[in-house]
Structure 1
Amino acid sequence: MTDEDVRLSPHAGRRWHNPAPMKALVSRALYLIHRWLGIATCLPVLMWFVSGLVMLYVPFPKLTTEERLPHLAPIAAEALRISPAAALAACPGKFRSVRLAMVGARPAYHFMLDSGACSAWADTGEPLGPVSPETAQARARDFLGATDVGPAEVIERDQWTVYASYNAHRPLYRIAANDAADSVIYVSPRSGEVLVDTTRFERGWNWIGTVLHWIYFTPLRSGGDSDTWRWIVMGLSFPALLAASSGLWLGLTRLRIVKRYPRGRITPYRGTKRWHHLLGLTAGLFAFTWLLSGWLSVHPFGLLKLNGLPPGAARQLAGGALRASDDLPLLQRQLARAPGAREAEWFRFGGKDYLEISTDTVKLRFDDQAAAAAPILPETFAAAIRSIEKTAIASAELIHTEDLYYYSRSTPRALPAVRVRLADPEETTWYLDPATGRILLRVDSASRAHRWIFNALHRLDFPPLGYSSAWTAVITTLCLLGAMLAASACVIGWRRTRQKKP
């Protein structure tokens, strides 16, 4: 037989292309990848599982509207002497929004400008800020109901004020209270408002919770450019993802259910390696999906990136830019219809201005005649969305329950809401507040992908579970199993690196 006959023979592949060595080579390569990447990333993965478990029970410190309003005194309508438009003269700049609330015993308008926050007294029209350290201490005492607080320290930011939402008020006053909770209060020097409060319990647990999980250390989050932080997250999570995926494949190939190892064992390993193998078979898939979704959460190479609203959408719905009202008698009539008002905020829809007044229990909305504002109809929203999107509307309806995309997470969703679905290939859907006209959510193909690839895989917010006690139990169990898997990897890795011979 000639060489040509051998090459063309149907049995030639068996003689010259035996797949066994290639399979062994791939298996060996995956084994080495899993070993050394596992050694390099076992501590970060352990950190993510433990910190994720802590986050489940202790959220990052934040002052919610529900917590803030009871600390505000009822608005003294009789003390108002200046309209918002007149008070705006004390805050030059491009106007965006305005609220009315009490600061101490006096009413004040809080404006948001393109340049940041600015406040003016509603009884004199004079600028409220800059707030003195002594006044900031008084605000902290009023908020806490405490008499003994420390000095007002001026800071640009710290570990608990890394969010960009505080940028409009920086620098901030940080005031420590001598109370049982070891509270620390942050006050805006521009508005005199308390922005956030923390306790020793929250700060302590968040160091091993949110701060570790999100790698939210102040130096990494102190600037406007988050590229360094993103590359650190990707640089840690991607090798861990490779370690988890290779380990999952190796674990399955070494598992024997039918033709077992000696003494009926399903794993060839002993001791810590045996537990690592079994834990990998139990929690390995979840570890892989959590690492994958966590890596995708920072949108590497543009993956899973969300789209914004169409340009000018909010302004078009509003029917123009919000204007500061110059009608003080109207404001006083509106406040008279809302006893116990704690805060008032202006909004605009369809070319008309409205006032939303918050009490301890309800929100009331009034039109420019001081009458109760009627809810905005789905048909009205549909016409506005059709004009923005330049696309036909498939349906517009008022919904009273959440759906697969509009649902509660850490805070409840506003209901009822208007849902407007477009007749486009992406089935783009808008959710809007019928009370104020505010855009609550816009869902397109990108946000749907993010919902199922990140939210569902990383947070396990599948419809049967939701954010219920069953969901909490499942997340807790999986975090504990994942932590045990990572801890066993750390033990194995430590022993491996301590060996004198590789």
Structure 2
Amino acid sequence: MKVLRLSTQLHKWIALVVGLQVLFWVGGGLVMTAIPIETVRGEHRAAELNPVPLELGALPALGEIARRAGVARSRRSCAQRRGARRGPHRRRGEPVIVSAATGRPFGPMSTAQATGFARRAYRGEAGVSEAVFLNTAPQETGQTGPLWRVDFADREKTSFYLSPATGEVVTRRSGVWRIFDFFWRLHVMDWNDGEDFNHPLIIITTALTLSIVVSGFILLWIRISRDLKTARASRGSKR
């Protein structure tokens, strides 16, 4: 039968072309569903922070803070931040983080300060194995600009990335996250940054995979029909 021959050929050759990617889809899907997303995000390593409230009455006025910082006062109200940091003010369009207590800008964050901020934000018994200032944020952070990376000696190889201006943990990464990210990139067929899952390659591959499923159903239907005819003929000859 022409339909049977055509379906068989399509099913065989298209399966050879996209079979490896189908394996990546199924294997990656298994990995991504087996690992809890909270573990991937490192939420179990995030400590609950309880900032000490500031006595607003004892703080300098906004105008005085702007004067001490040498910047023009912003029209918008300034936000209170953890670690007694207050901002933003603007100088030539750039934010300036200042101390809410003194109204003066903070100096560059030291290794000891970055380590201290990271330790307070970390939940667990592992110590800090390394603290590094990075002039350019790594791709895995999804951030731009400089960051501090503080690594912990736990089994997941957790890394906290901190803002050098505020000491805030902007993102958490670990070996678990990197394994998840590897399989995610295989899953969406975007090996650059894993952000694009609507590109032509995955659309074409998905369409080809659909043709495998359709041709497989056709083959199954033809074979079942043929087997049923053979069974009926066999019963009729016995009678």
Q: TM-score, normalised by structure 2?
A: 0.68
Amino acid at match of 2:28: S
Residue of structure 2 in register with 1:244 after alignment: 209
Amino acid at match of 1:158: P
1:112 and 1:211 map into 2 onto residues whose CA distance is 40
Residue in structure 1 matching 2:116, options 109, 123, 138: 138
2:190 and 2:50 map into 1 onto residues whose CA distance is 31
Residue of structure 2 in register with 1:172 after alignment: 147
Q: Larger % of helix: which?
A: 2
Residue of structure 2 in register with 1:284 after alignment: none
Amino acid at match of 1:47: F
Residue in structure 2 matching 1:150, options 107, 124, 129: 129
Residue of structure 2 in register with 1:53 after alignment: 30
Instruction: Give a deviation string over 1:438-464, Cα, whole Å, max 9, x none.
Output: xxxxxxxxxxxxxxxxxxxxxxxxxxx
- Measured after TM superposition, the shift of residue 216 of structure 1 is 6.3
The verdict on how the C-alpha distance between 1:151 and 1:245 changes in structure 2, with shifts beyond 3 A counting, is closer
The unaligned stretches of length 5 or more in structure 2 are 232-239
- Measured after TM superposition, the shift of residue 187 of structure 1 is 0.9
Contact 1:109 1:120 (C-alpha < 8 Å) held by counterparts? yes
Contact 1:58 1:209 (C-alpha < 8 Å) held by counterparts? no
The verdict on how the C-alpha distance between 1:212 and 1:25 changes in structure 2, with shifts beyond 3 A counting, is closer
Amino acid at match of 2:227: R
1:212 and 1:112 map into 2 onto residues whose CA distance is 44
- Measured after TM superposition, the shift of residue 249 of structure 1 is 2.3
- Measured after TM superposition, the shift of residue 259 of structure 1 is 4.4
Amino acid at match of 2:220: L
Residue of structure 1 in register with 2:235 after alignment: none
Amino acid at match of 2:147: L
Aligned length: 222
Q: How does 1:264-279 map to 2 (within 5 A)?
A: none
Residue in structure 2 matching 1:126, options 74, 80, 104: 104
The verdict on how the C-alpha distance between 1:196 and 1:253 changes in structure 2, with shifts beyond 3 A counting, is same
The answer to which structure, 1 or 2, has the higher relative contact order (CA under 8 A, 6+ apart) is 2
2:185 and 2:76 map into 1 onto residues whose CA distance is 32
- Measured after TM superposition, the shift of residue 79 of structure 1 is 8.3
Task: Classify the secondary structure of the residue corresponding to 1:255.
Answer: helix
2:114 and 2:167 map into 1 onto residues whose CA distance is 6
Q: How does 1:309-388 map to 2 (within 5 A)?
A: none
Q: TM-score, normalised by structure 1?
A: 0.36
2:61 and 2:32 map into 1 onto residues whose CA distance is 44
2:130 and 2:45 map into 1 onto residues whose CA distance is 24
- Measured after TM superposition, the shift of residue 73 of structure 1 is 2.3
RMSD: 4.2
2:100 and 2:16 map into 1 onto residues whose CA distance is 62
